[in-house]
Amino acid sequence: MKRDQMIEGIMRHAGISKANVSRFYDGLAELIRRELVRNRQFVLPGLGVLRVRARAARIARNPQTGESIQVPAKKVVRFKAYTSLDEALNGPARKSVPVAPPEPTGRLLIPPADEPSPQ
């Protein structure tokens, strides 16, 4: 979704002028930027959290030439959705059920230490 589409959608939903929505959007973007620089996270109530993470340096490969290149370490922003948003997108979370190990069948490949191996 482009910036203008977002502003148009908010304007229609909230009944606010396009100029006011545009100023709000610009203010929100600036607030998010400042909070990420200062506190390394920004909470979007009801949606999730934007957090600054450190990405380690690594060696990557140029897909066109196959050449290995060194990618420097840098900071990136990650979004972690709240459970309510995640469930709205994916349905309720399924709880994992522990599976019992299978019953042993056949003979043992390694004989117990107290028994001599059959030869």
d(CA 101, CA 75): 43
* Dihedral angle of Cα 101, 106, 112, 117, to the nearest 10 degrees: -160
pTM for the full model? 0.65
The DSSP bridge pattern shows strands 58-61 and 48-55 to be unpaired
3 state SS of 95 = coil
The fraction of the chain above a pLDDT of 70, given in percent, is: 87
pLDDT tens profile 63-104: 999 999 999 999 999 999 998 888 898 888 777 777 777 776
Work out the pLDDT band at 52, boundaries 50, 70, 90.
very high
The arithmetic mean of pLDDT across residues 50-70, rounded, is 94
Residue 79, token pair as written in the block: 């979004």
